[in-house]
Structure 1
Amino acid sequence: MAKMRIAERYRLLWAVALIAVCGGPTQADDSWVVYAGGDGPGQGKRVVLVSGDEEYRSEEALPQLAKILATRHGFTCTVLFAIGDDGTINPKRVDNIPGLEALDTADLLILATRFRDLPDDQMKHVVDYIESGRPIIGMRTATHAFDLKKSKTYAKYTWNGKVPGFEGGFGRLVLGETWNSHHGAHGKQSTRGILAPGEQEHPILKGIKDGQIWGPTDVYGVRLPLPGDSKPLVFGQILTGMKPDDSPITGPKNDPMMPVAWTKTYTAANGKTARVFATTMGASQDLENDGVRRLLVNAAYWATGLEDKVSASADVSIVGDYHPLPFGFGGFKAGVKPSSHEIK
């Protein structure tokens, strides 16, 4: 019996090792999905990607981004979702994102939530991470990631927070802007990325050509100048239509153009300083564009201190099948479980 138990243990260890070597997904719980990192510069780095928005399909975008980071670049990625009572992904459920304790040991947070009203026991893991000095990437609606109507403990992080010294909440203080406006016509005018003058050599822009970045999402309005040490990397040129080769609109909305990607730092009350990258792009359809994917992958390298490993020719191609649904309220696919996003 003892020999049998030993043999069984060895078989289990080999199975776990095989999954890790192959970079396949491991499932710790039905509420989230984990992609073990394969070979690559990111090996050993743990990334937690938090989805949860009703409009831009972050529940589709973040699993794809995680697959790219894990299989092409070696990062181990955990993707979290808004989960309904039936155990399926439900972006309309604003008060439940299981698995946030993964942030306790994470090396990078990638956030793409919108107006979440999380309970204190979940929000604590987010806030502990934010105040730890570890890096943060915010995508699209992360500028207005939280709408904390119930919490008194963490109310200052809400998108329209009015706490003195923390006005504008997480979005404004940490990322650089909270929800402000649609600058382009939503659903009618798409976005072309124009590289900021003098920033073409920044590691996050490595391998990206001027105008290569494009997405069907519209440009968000931000207040200029962005606060603190914010450094715009990409400006959003508003186009006349929803195709990448459409011409720019004329008039004042493209003069000046709004930043759609920038870096900054966030220093917590405890003195710890984090690297921050924010982009107001990042809908699931935006990730069909190779420039957007490269921007996000490069940002993950930069955020985790691997900027010297960024390669202009790094593989940022789609992993598996990827056919994202159009953005819009009420358009998510119901009945999908996190396990549906495993690599087949």
Structure 2
Amino acid sequence: MLLPTASSAEVPLFCVAGKAGIGSGQHIVFVTGEEYYRSEEGMVMFAKLLAQHHGYKCTVLFAIDPSTGQINPNRNDNIPGLVELQTADLMVIFARFRELPDQQMKHIVEYVNAGKPVLGIRNATHAFRYSPASTSIYKDWDFRSTKWPGGFGQQILGDTWIAHFGKFQQEATLASVNPDNRTHPVLRGVADSLFCHTDVNSVERLTADDTVLMYGQVLSGLAPDAPPVTDHRQDKQMPFAWFKNYIAPSGKQGRSFTTTAGASLDWQSEDLRRLMVNAIFSLTGHEDEIPEKTNVEIVGEYHPTSTGAHPDSAWAR
């Protein structure tokens, strides 16, 4: 897949300068690399939106096939440009089962160890997976870690990978506002419920200190008007969007926001985009400035494609 814009001949990434707005002078780095949910589409859309409407400088990094220089999320060992995190005010991570070389991974680790804010999307709960033979000094960031229980996902975002609660590519999500937190500033301008194409993920390890803004209910199909399931899952909803105060391995404290939404199709929802942008405002120090209805109009064209993994041949074009 061709890059939307190659900002550097040496580092294939997408970068857009911020205009005037609430985030003027701040830098958001999006770290993508997952096979199913077209993060390379959705995060570029957000980069344009945030730069145009809200003033943030935005950089989107991708999983790159080094032999072609093109995006290929099947390559789990290469996300060039992570040095950009050195100047980031926010890391948005949408990655799955990455096993990055230490010289790349160190930038993510250093960012988190500084206690800086993190926004995790969908697969970020299991962003890293190391092979048994790995000698990486960052193996404990693996989502299966027992030494640092649950690795990055559980320790920084609030939970690691458990399972699909809804059926993948068969059952969508109806996300509803947690009435206990309806007045939270990040929910300002967000409808009481919204539809997502992605299924509900199991989330079971959040604590009383975490702030759940929305819960996800399993629907019986993929259409917005599909009714909820009527089996054993009908009375159980899973956290869909939440804040966490984390403690980094360095001992520094930071703050994260996570949503189990994330397919590029999901972001067609104005309410979901507003939830995302409001969370970004909060994480970058602007929670008190969240307006009644944050501008989340898509900039330019946005044509999201279907969920699903593609073979390498599909990316070599």
Distance 2:43 2:234 in 1: 30
Distance 1:39 1:92 in 2: 37
Seen in structure 2, the aligned counterparts of structure 1 residues 313 and 26 have a Cα distance that, compared at 3 Å, is farther
Give the counterpart of 1:93 among 72, 75, 92: 75
Residue of structure 2 equivalent to 1:169: 151
User: 5+ unaligned residues in a row in structure 1: which ranges?
Assistant: 1-24, 337-344
Give the counterpart of 2:58 among 71, 77, 86: 77
Give the counterpart of 1:154 among 138, 143, 146: 138
Residue of structure 1 equivalent to 2:30: 49
Shift of the alpha carbon at 1:286?
Answer: 0.8
Per the normalisation by structure 2, the TM-score is 0.93
Paired AA for residue 314 in structure 1: T
Per the normalisation by structure 1, the TM-score is 0.86
**Are the counterparts in 2 of residues 139 and 282 from structure 1 also a CA contact under 8 Å?**
yes
**Are the counterparts in 2 of residues 103 and 125 from structure 1 also a CA contact under 8 Å?**
yes
Paired AA for residue 288 in structure 1: Q
Q: Report which of the two structures shows the higher radius of gyration computed on alpha carbons.
A: 1
Shift of the alpha carbon at 1:321?
Answer: 1.1
1:72-107 deviations in Å (ceiling 9; x for gaps): 111110000000020000000100000000001110
Seen in structure 2, the aligned counterparts of structure 1 residues 228 and 152 have a Cα distance that, compared at 3 Å, is farther
Give the counterpart of 2:211 among 231, 240, 248: 231
Shift of the alpha carbon at 1:28?
Answer: 3.5
Give the counterpart of 1:328 among 289, 308, 312: 308
* 1:266 lines up with 2:249 in the alignment: no
* 1:124 lines up with 2:144 in the alignment: no
User: 5+ unaligned residues in a row in structure 2: which ranges?
Assistant: none
**Are the counterparts in 1 of residues 155 and 247 from structure 2 also a CA contact under 8 Å?**
no
Moved over 6 A (4+): none
Pairwise mapping of residues 1-344 of structure 1 onto structure 2 (< 5 A)?
A: 27-29=7-9, 30-84=11-65, 85-149=67-131, 150-163=134-147, 166-211=148-193, 213-224=194-205, 226-227=206-207, 229-330=209-310, 334-335=315-316
Residue of structure 2 equivalent to 1:8: none
Worse overlay, 191-200 or 146-155: 146-155
**Are the counterparts in 1 of residues 38 and 307 from structure 2 also a CA contact under 8 Å?**
yes
Give identity over the alignment, percent.
43
